[in-house]
Structure formats: structure tokens, C-alpha cells
Amino acid sequence: MTAASHPSGIDPAARSRARRRALQAIYAWQLSGNRIEGIVEQFRHEQDMQIADLPYFEELVRGVARSHGELDALLLPLLDREIERVDPIERAALRIAAFELRERIDVPYRVVINEAVEATKRFGAEHGHTYVNGVLDRLAAGLRAAEYHAAR
């Protein structure tokens, strides 16, 4: 289904690709400490961004970089260790999903969690996705209480 034919006007596949690219960009930012704008530019030129939702990719990457302290504060009570000790792929997935849960209420919480879990399965450690799923399920229950409980 294309964006034009999707009822919301959004191409879900392009959004998924944007999230996967954002995960890679946030991972690179976390490890390198380079300026986020440089990383966004690098991804714009090096990655196959024409098939991803570029504005969404940029919103996620810049949003996480700008508000990672606030996002970490939301996540920390749900973690079993300090945020810096969480695997970098899992940390990137958690931060992106926390940003989406907090800022993009137009995206259903189940979509946010599923996308984070799938990206972690693809790029992360063998069982990292179960950790991400558990943390995000509890975060969604707090940030999206009405939506979360209505879906149960």
C-alpha cells in the first residue's frame, strides 16, 4: 500500500525504514559523540534514504539527541541498570521509542513497541528484544495510560 492509498496518507514501510535508519544514526551518535547534524547529513548522503520517510527519520534523530536526558529520566525507573550500561542498540531503540511514545501520540503505542522490538531483533543482541519489549510495555502503560488500558 502506498502513502497515497493508505488511509492516513503515511507509508508504513517508509516509516519502518526511517526508524531503522534512525536506530543506526542514534547508535553512531552514542558511540562517536559526533554532532548529530553531521550524522544526519552523513545518513542523508550514504544511506538509501529515498525509500525511507526522511522527515520522520530527521524528527526522530534530532528529537532523541535534543531530549535524550529527559527520555533517559523516563526510562531509568524501568531499567535494571544505568542507561549507559544498556547495550547501545537497545539504548538507541529505547530512546527512539520513548520519544515516539511521548511526542508522537498519533502513532499507536503498539506500533511504537513493535517497531522497536523488530529493529532490536534485527540489529541487537540475541535476546535484547525481550528486554526492550518489557521496558517499553511498562513505559507505554505510564505515558499512554488511556490508550494502553483501552487496548487490554
CATH number of the domain bearing residue 107: 1.10.940.10
pLDDT for position 12: 93
DSSP type of residue 52: S
pLDDT for position 151: 83
Q: Is 112 among the domain residues?
A: yes
Q: Is 4 among the domain residues?
A: no
Give dist(CA 1, CA 152) in Å, integer.
28
Amino acid making up residue 107: V
Q: Is 23 among the domain residues?
A: yes
Neighbours of 61 (CB within 10 A): 26
The structure's pTM equals: 0.92
Q: Report CA-CA distances (Å) from 30 to 39, 78, 106.
A: 11, 20, 27
Q: Is 42 among the domain residues?
A: yes
pLDDT for position 43: 85
Burial class (CB in 10 A: 0-12, 13-18, 19+), 1: exposed
Range of the domain at 123: 12-151
Q: What is the average pLDDT score of the chain?
A: 92
Q: Is 133 among the domain residues?
A: yes
Q: Is 2 among the domain residues?
A: no
Q: Are 95 and 88 in contact (CB under 8 A)?
A: no
How confident is the model over 86-91, as a mean pLDDT?
97
- Write b or e for each residue in 112-144: b if 16 or more Cβ atoms lie within 10 A of its Cβ, otherwise e: bbebbbbbbbebbeeebbebbbebbeebbeebb
Q: Is 45 among the domain residues?
A: yes
How confident is the model over 83-111, as a mean pLDDT?
97
Q: Is 116 among the domain residues?
A: yes
The total number of structural domains that make up the chain: 1
What 3-state DSSP class applies to 49? helix
